[in-house]
């Protein structure tokens, strides 16, 4: 999995007024936590965070703080302004190379489904799937070959098999499917009617 580096400034716990003042400076309050460590509060320039917030990609985040300390983490939660859509707060979860990391990765598809060639409509239901793996085994994305997908057939999370990777999302989570279209239903109905007329004659 690709890495993304951010530089942060350590901050103290603040009330709403302090947090508001931080955001007015174009900074985003962040929180880093993990097992066996104290929470680390810091700020990051809003523009520097856009490489994380404005993309569907997932990263291992290399955090470098102004006190000389460095951490590796993944994004746990992003909070956005309901109207302006700018990032208000980020929670990071500290990770290490020797322990499995649970993270959402984007789904990509390749191929042309058999069901679409028959007139069906391909639908990507889930754009992400949650997986767990050691850092060295984490993929940037999971590609699914949808070529064999026929009408009313689906791919679920339980169908995903990758060496060194465990799927954390529920096995019955639908990833993608090919649905019958209204035109197909109408065509089937017309063919049925023609068959009935032929039998009557």
pLDDT at 16: 86
Among the candidates 64, 95, 126, a domain finishes at 95
Instruction: Please tell me whether residues 146 and 86 are part of one structural domain.
Output: no
109 lies in which domain range?
A: 102-185
Inform me whether the pLDDT recorded for 193 exceeds 70.
no
Instruction: Please tell me whether residues 62 and 124 are part of one structural domain.
Output: no
Instruction: Please tell me whether residues 32 and 114 are part of one structural domain.
Output: no
Report field, pTM of the whole predicted structure over 0.85? no
Question: What is the CATH classification number for the domain harbouring 122?
Answer: 2.170.120.20
For residue 198, being part of any structural domain is answered with no
Instruction: Please tell me whether residues 50 and 67 are part of one structural domain.
Output: yes
Instruction: Please tell me whether residues 44 and 86 are part of one structural domain.
Output: yes
Instruction: Please tell me whether residues 159 and 86 are part of one structural domain.
Output: no
Distance CA 38, CA 21 (A): 25
Inform me whether the pLDDT recorded for 3 exceeds 50.
yes
Among the candidates 95, 110, 128, a domain finishes at 95
pLDDT at 196: 46
For residue 13, being part of any structural domain is answered with yes
Instruction: Please tell me whether residues 27 and 68 are part of one structural domain.
Output: yes
pLDDT digits (tens, 9 = 90+) for 71-123: 999 999 999 988 888 899 999 999 999 999 999 999 999 999 999 999 999 99
Distances (CA, A) of 120 to 115, 178, 184: 5, 6, 8
- 184 versus 54: the higher-pLDDT residue is 54
Question: What is the CATH classification number for the domain harbouring 86?
Answer: 2.40.240.10
For residue 191, being part of any structural domain is answered with no
Instruction: Please tell me whether residues 17 and 90 are part of one structural domain.
Output: yes
For residue 70, being part of any structural domain is answered with yes
CA neighbor of 132 nearest in space, from 178, 166, 181, 161 = 166
For residue 22, being part of any structural domain is answered with yes
Instruction: Please tell me whether residues 8 and 85 are part of one structural domain.
Output: yes
CA neighbor of 159 nearest in space, from 87, 17, 42, 146 = 146
For residue 190, being part of any structural domain is answered with no
Q: Where are the beta strands (DSSP E) in 150-195?
A: 154-156, 166-167, 174-179
Number of compact structural domains in the chain: 2
For residue 113, being part of any structural domain is answered with yes
Instruction: Please tell me whether residues 26 and 91 are part of one structural domain.
Output: yes
């Amino acid at each position: 999995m690709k890495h993304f580096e951010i530089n942060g400034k350590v901050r103290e716990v603040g009330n709403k007024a302090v947090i508001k003042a931080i955001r007015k400076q174009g900074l985003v309050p962040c929180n880093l936590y993990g097992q066996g460590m104290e929470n680390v509060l810091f700020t990051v320039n809003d523009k520097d965070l856009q490489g994380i917030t404005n993309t569907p990609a997932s990263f291992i985040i290399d955090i470098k703080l102004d006190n000389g300390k460095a951490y590796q983490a993944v994004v746990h939660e992003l909070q956005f302004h309901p109207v302006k859509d700018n990032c208000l707060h980020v929670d990071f979860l500290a990770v290490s190379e020797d322990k499995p990391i649970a993270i959402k990765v984007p789904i990509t598809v390749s191929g042309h489904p058999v069901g679409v060639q028959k007139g069906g409509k391909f639908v990507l239901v889930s754009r992400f799937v949650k997986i767990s793996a050691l850092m060295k085994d984490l993929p940037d994305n999971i590609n699914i070959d949808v070529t064999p997908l026929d009408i009313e057939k689906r791919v679920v999370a339980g169908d995903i098999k990758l060496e060194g990777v465990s799927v954390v999302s529920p096995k019955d989570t639908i990833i993608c499917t090919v649905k019958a279209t209204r035109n197909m239903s109408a065509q089937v109905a017309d063919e049925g009617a023609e068959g009935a007329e032929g039998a009557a004659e």
